[in-house]
Structure 1
Amino acid sequence: MSGHMIKRPALGVYIVAGWPSAEVYREAVARLSGLVDFFELGVPTKNPKYDGPYIRAAHREVAAPVWDKPAAPTYLMAYWEDYAARPAELFNLAAEVGARGVLAPDLLVDYPGDLEQYLALSKEFGLAPVFFLPSKFPHSLARRIAAAGPDFIYLGLYAATGIELPVYVERNISIVKGLAPEVPLVAGFAIDRPEKAVKAVKAGADGVVVGTAFMRRLKSSVEEGLRFLWEIKQALVGLR
């Protein structure tokens, strides 16, 4: 599977599958499908090592994942650490739930030697490769993954989700776009208000992913979560 699904300026949303409850999750997925451009569904894990405190807690709160697939393009986001010994199991899950690809945030950082296996399994299961780059990355790595023709590269703006740190966000976005100009780039981590989403897109990102800020509001109510994403969507639409 290939072809760029991310159309600038895109809005993506991250949610742990089945959180905060099966009922709320299903309602959110159904109502968000016409609002967001793509979904990242978090596979519950005991060690969400690159996530911030709020999402870490969400992983612990999920009794059992729910795999209702959104209508928009969907990617499973799972830690490679959990599946390194049996990676085909993860790709089989993605195929079963109708996901377009598997995004493993720790693959390139902690398991770089498994990149070829990841690419081979993506091809075997008919899935699109997608990659996460941390805020600090080797330029050669960005070029290498760009050559694989991924749906997108997800650039983490900060060290962990939902935590803002003083890094040169615009500079990192510009560097990745310079190294991989043909590959859609989405930015995430600490996108918690429309101004930040606009700033990331103006810096060169093709889209943004909202996770912690959306999930905080979803915990209060689906309506509050929808209102928040609508505000970001409207701000992005204004850039077209």
Structure 2
Amino acid sequence: MNEILARYQQVKAAQEVAFIPFLVLGDPNPEVFLKLIQTIEPYSDFIELGIPFSDPIADGPTILSANHRALQSGSNYSNCFHLIQEVRKLTNKPLILLTYGNILGVEPHRKQTLDKFAQSGINGIIAADIPVEESQELLEEAREVEIDIIFLVTPTTHTERLSNIIGKAQGFIYLVAVKGITGARETILNETSSTIRRIISKLGTDRKIPVFVGFGISKPAHIQEIIQMGADGVIVGSALINQIEKNLDNPIAMFEQIEVFAQQMKNATKALRV
């Protein structure tokens, strides 16, 4: 069993759902970023990382600002491998990378890039703009270095395409909860509820691969709602990064507030399903 599924089985055995925080590598600067990893690690089941990128098409203003801060601090593709290695020293939990096709590149460059990510400690990659229909070579290359390629499912994914994704899915399915870009939201939208229920119904109760829900989750109550809908994990990015942005001039407050937030979110994942 690979690292992602093995860790998920541990979470499931504890009768919890997974909490997956997302941070941009090097935001707001490499030193503070690594301290943030240390702060959230005890409450995390997986950690998702984004490579600083000037045009992250799936992201809203909060994560876009995080990318810009990271780039301005000197974090970029060239030195992201070193930062990932430093993160790996701080945790043995699975590391998931969010990136894009032009960063991964094409053969033979892509295979070398995947190998470097694997050597750095990455267990799974979400290539946000590579559709499942064009993924076969990437899947084969990633399999050689034992990296899972994780696919996105959205409210607009039709049944035939969903079946294709399920057939090729590795690690977990990333269920995008809303139409549109990332960003913390006050309430769980109706389209989120209907999308989760449709995907869970298609996969069945004895599914072999978990479903993690992201985009818009910003408070413990959201997690408890999503648990009741049948999801296996929650991915939280913008709400976490908001805490960084609010405390750029006060790192001590930043660490304190992020720790409280991460602890509250993880505690919410321990609510048993009924």
TM-score (norm: length of structure 1): 0.90
Gaps in structure 1 of 5+ consecutive residues: none
| 2:231 paired with 1:205 | yes
Contact persistence 2:184–2:217 (CA under 8 A)? no
Question: Which stretch has the larger CA shift, 113-122 or 157-166?
Answer: 157-166
Deviations 1:173-223 (A, max 9, x none): 111112223120000111111111111111111010110101111342122
Task: Percent identity, please.
Answer: 24
* Residue of 227, 243, 263 corresponding to 1:217: 243
1:187 counterpart residue number: 213
1:98 counterpart residue number: 121
Q: 1:140 to 1:87 in 2, by over 3 A?
A: farther
Alignment of 1:154-169 (within 5 A): 154-158=174-178, 159-162=180-183, 164=185, 166-169=189-192
Question: Which stretch has the larger CA shift, 135-144 or 193-202?
Answer: 135-144
2:250 counterpart residue number: none
Per-residue deviation at 1:166? 4.5
1:239 counterpart residue number: 272
1:116 counterpart residue number: 136
Question: What is the aligned residue count?
Answer: 237
What residue identity is the alignment partner of 2:30?
Answer: A
Alignment of 1:128-139 (within 5 A): 128-139=148-159
C-alpha RMSD of the superposition: 2.0
Question: Which stretch has the larger CA shift, 45-54 or 24-33?
Answer: 24-33
* Residue of 24, 32, 40 corresponding to 1:32: 40
Question: Which stretch has the larger CA shift, 71-80 or 206-215?
Answer: 71-80
Could you tell me how far apart the structure 2 residues matched to 1:215 and 1:106 are?
A: 22
Per-residue deviation at 1:89? 4.2
Gaps in structure 2 of 5+ consecutive residues: 248-253
Contact persistence 1:157–1:190 (CA under 8 A)? yes
| 2:230 paired with 1:230 | no
* Residue of 20, 25, 42 corresponding to 1:12: 20
Question: Which stretch has the larger CA shift, 80-89 or 210-219?
Answer: 80-89
Could you tell me how far apart the structure 2 residues matched to 1:121 and 1:131 are?
A: 16
Question: Which stretch has the larger CA shift, 2-11 or 194-203?
Answer: 2-11
Deviations 1:94-113 (A, max 9, x none): 212111111112222xxx44
What residue identity is the alignment partner of 1:211?
Answer: G
SS in 2 for 1:200: helix
Could you tell me how far apart the structure 2 residues matched to 1:76 and 1:186 are?
A: 15
Per-residue deviation at 1:31? 2.8
TM-score (norm: length of structure 2): 0.80
| 2:163 paired with 1:143 | yes
Which runs of 4 or more aligned residues in structure 1 lie more than 3 Å from their structure 2 counterparts after TM superposition? 163-167
Deviations 1:6-43 (A, max 9, x none): 33411001000111111111111123222110011101
SS in 1 for 2:269: helix
Per-residue deviation at 1:114? 2.4
What residue identity is the alignment partner of 2:134?
Answer: D
Contact persistence 1:161–1:212 (CA under 8 A)? yes
Q: Which has the higher helix share?
A: 2
Contact persistence 2:23–2:48 (CA under 8 A)? yes
Contact persistence 2:184–2:239 (CA under 8 A)? no
- Looking at CA atoms only, which structure, 1 or 2, has the larger radius of gyration? 2
Per-residue deviation at 1:119? 1.0
Could you tell me how far apart the structure 2 residues matched to 1:19 and 1:128 are?
A: 25
Q: 1:22 to 1:133 in 2, by over 3 A?
A: same
Alignment of 1:35-46 (within 5 A): 35-46=43-54
Contact persistence 2:27–2:69 (CA under 8 A)? yes
Contact persistence 1:41–1:75 (CA under 8 A)? yes
Could you tell me how far apart the structure 2 residues matched to 1:81 and 1:178 are?
A: 34
